[in-house]
A and B are shown apart, each in its own frame.
Chain A
């Protein structure tokens, strides 16, 4: 059904302010008021092509061609300005006219002003104004997105910089912590070294005194005992000869012979002297062992037989190996290989043997009493000492015990300075730390520990047969100390310990002064 009501012309013009009507020659016979206003020349009476170019659809601009495109969207470009009209062509059959209904198509609000358009120029129903609003909103949103993206990028950059700074700070902190840790370790090492030096110095002085005070009189006694034996034998021969030549004794002599039990005396006297000789020999061995152990006469490195050092250590510790109270003998099981002479600081190596074997004895004693008290079992106590020359020409010394072992929780710490599991006052926590320094730093070797709970602990020392060159150079630095030890040794041959100590102090002071002067001038 066709509508009965149509818009009156003035309302139509208001409702479609951008419309125009074409006749069969494509002359514009009517146009909307706004379109007329914004076109530079008189629109009505002019040809369409004088004002507009049909860009869509692609047709030859003839009345018939336009008439056929009633279902097409028409896009017209103004020839005089940038305006673009969008709409449709409606063929009016009765009047044989074509009516264009549409409005300017705006994609950029800035293009409105040059066209001389205002909002009120558009029909209220025309959605183009809403489209303009949406365009502006889109632009605003895009600008916001762009601004936020820039802010985000800037913040990311700042964050990256901050992270880089943080990373650098963390690295610096880590490096400083590492340096602090190294410094602390150096300090602990130095402290341990100082204590070791002090101990060795004290021990050296003591041994020097013993060597001097005991060795000389013992040698004197030992040397004279052979004469005593000779003289006693001669006297006994003389008595025997008297008895043969003068068998009739004077009663007083007979009385004395009986009183002193001459027969027993003749039999026992040489044995007594021989016992004394054995005793002095034993004392000489002990003194020799002490000297070997301290090796004060060997502050410089030189090739030595390590088995001698091990034996000296065992001799010094012999009293601790004997049965003690309820505790049975600690058995030493040796398996010595065929070792070459090893270039080393033998006094220091002996200190290592001493520490490790003494620790083994402590561990065995503790383990024995713990087991005995809890189970009543009397365990055999053994220390195994073996030496071997490896295929890489390394000397390997293993010292093992069959004690309780070292718990895994503390195994990593046993070489740390001041770490001890012994009761307060009993262990300094320096023994194994010093051992580690002597083996690793002084000799370029290695010291490791293997331990199995309730089976025992094994310390493995690996040494090169020759000291590495850098180790030799490093140890030259300790000339002052070595010189002082040499001084002790030299004086020990001829003077009393007290005088030695006085001279040693004087010499050390001079040495320090010389050293200081050297450093100062350097």
Chain B
């Protein structure tokens, strides 16, 4: 997992709960460094330990933490210098989600060690999308829920997301059904 993710966890905890709680989580996770280099690859274990420790300290389930993190991720990446790239990736939720796989594929091409996930977005109906999510990593599906919700906020679009396929239930991928409704139309 690249350092950007760990930094995002750190920033999210600090902005919501303060520096002291973050230090508590970091110590509990036995993560010695407090500085993550954003484009450097870190062992996945570091991220998992941080999420587990945050779950224990904040008394939230790992799924709740990951969902909150997914939502935070959208605004975080925009603020970390990827705003223009996100702007380039779409003007509305369906367009952005359809470009999401390209975004990750290009990241994977430039930084193969980061092993980004893949997405496949298809229009099911008017204002209904299906989003297939495939990742080598486990337990990140709740993050996708948060991510879509965060994109809903970004594009001022009401979002209702439900998971229809789950690797936890034996499927080979996770799949989400997204009902969306833009709040304002240009």
Contact = CB atoms under 8 A, between A and B. Distances in A.
A and B physically associate: yes
Contacts of B82: 136
Interface stretch (B20-28, B87-95, B152-160): B87-95
Contact of B37 (A119, A120, A144): A144
Given A144-B38, A148-B37, A119 B102 contact: yes
B106 A129 contact: yes
Contacts of B37: 141, 144, 148
Contacts of B4: 140
Contacts of B89: 118-120
A137 B41 CA distance: 13
Interface in B73-128: 80-82, 84-85, 87-91, 95, 99, 102-103, 106-107, 109-111
B109 A148 contact: no
A144 B39 contact: yes
Nearest to B80: A140
A137 B102 contact: no
A341 interface: no
B35 interface: yes
A151 B35 CA distance: 10
Contacts of A120: 88-90, 95, 99
A92 to B, nearest CB: 32
Contacts, number: 64
Given A119-B99, A133-B110, A148-B35, A140 B90 contact: no
A112 interface: yes
A118 B110 contact: no
Contacts of A137: 39, 110-111
Given A109-B84, A110-B84, A140 B38 contact: yes
Given A129-B106, A133-B107, A119 B88 contact: yes
Contact of B110 (A109, A130, A139): A130
A263 interface: no
A109 B102 contact: no
Contacts of A147: 35
Contacts of B81: 109, 136, 139-140, 143
Interface in B1-54: 3-4, 35, 37-39
Contacts of B88: 112, 117-120, 132
Contact of B87 (A118, A124, A130, A140): A118
B102 to A, nearest CB: 7
B86 to A, nearest CB: 9
A148 B81 CA distance: 17
Interface string B110-151: 110000000000000000000000000000000000000000
A119 B104 CA distance: 13
B85 A119 contact: yes
- Residue among A124, A134, A137 with the highest chain B CB neighbour number at 10 A: A137
Contact of B84 (A113, A140, A144, A148): A113
B110 A134 contact: yes
Contacts of A133: 85, 106-107, 110
Contacts of A140: 4, 38-39, 80-81
Nearest to A137: B39
Nearest to B91: A118
Nearest to B82: A136
B119 to A, nearest CB: 15
Given A119-B99, A130-B106, A134-B110, A113 B87 contact: yes
B34 to A, nearest CB: 10
B92 to A, nearest CB: 12
Interface in A131-164: 132-134, 136-137, 139-141, 143-144, 147-148, 151
B4 to A, nearest CB: 8
Nearest to A132: B85
A254 B68 CA distance: 150
Interface string A108-129: 0110110001111000100001
Interface in A239-294: none
A110 to B, nearest CB: 6
A285 B89 CA distance: 123
A355 to B, nearest CB: 67
A133 B35 CA distance: 23
Contacts of B103: 119
Contacts of A148: 35, 37
A313 B109 CA distance: 104
A144 to B, nearest CB: 5
A130 to B, nearest CB: 5
Contacts of A130: 106, 109-110
What are the 8 closest A-B residue pairs judged by CB atoms, nearest first? A119-B88, A109-B84, A118-B88, A141-B39, A140-B38, A144-B37, A119-B89, A137-B39
8 contacts: A109-B85, A118-B90, A120-B95, A120-B99, A130-B110, A133-B107, A141-B37, A151-B35
Interface of B: 3-4, 35, 37-39, 80-82, 84-85, 87-91, 95, 99, 102-103, 106-107, 109-111
